[in-house]
Amino acid sequence: MRLEKVLTFTETEEELATLLTDVGLKRNVAKVLVYLANTNEATSRDIERGTDLRQPEVSIAMRTLSEKEWIENRESKAESKGRPVKIYCLSKPIEEIVNRIESEKKEEIENQLKLIQKVREIASS
């Protein structure tokens, strides 16, 4: 047996994941994002262990993060025979990602306020 080091969430990281969920990210996406923000790079297996998510949950979260272009990956030969291992990292600093989330939320709010204004106009005529 070999000994491996597994990173786990601190109380602050749990709080950050909860806050990201509260602003609209899916829980699994938030957990993976926080995990990657606190490590240089990680394999899917590292992320599964560190976030306490199952492999399919990590895969779905990675797809979402990839679509948003917030992560990048590279392949590394596996220690034994078999498929290469993908190694993931954030493609942008977490501050830039948070700024993007903020911009998206501001846009959503502005659109909702415009709809409310239209409702007021129609209701009062």
Cβ-contact 45, 5 below 8 angstroms: no
Summary count for the chain: helices (H), strands (E): 5, 3
DSSP-H helix ranges across 23-80: 27-37, 44-51, 55-67
Provide the pLDDT for residue 2: 55
Tens-digit pLDDT string for the chain (125 aa):
555 666 678 899 999 999 999 999 999 999 999 999 999 999 999 999 999 999 999 999 999 999 999 999 998 876 667 788 899 999 999 999 999 999 999 999 999 999 999 999 999 98
Cβ-contact 61, 48 below 8 angstroms: no
Taking the CA atoms of residue 92, residue 95, residue 99 and residue 105 in that order, the dihedral angle to the nearest 10 degrees is 100
Cβ-contact 12, 18 below 8 angstroms: no
pTM of the model: 0.84
Cβ-contact 88, 73 below 8 angstroms: yes
For residue 26, the SS3 value is: coil
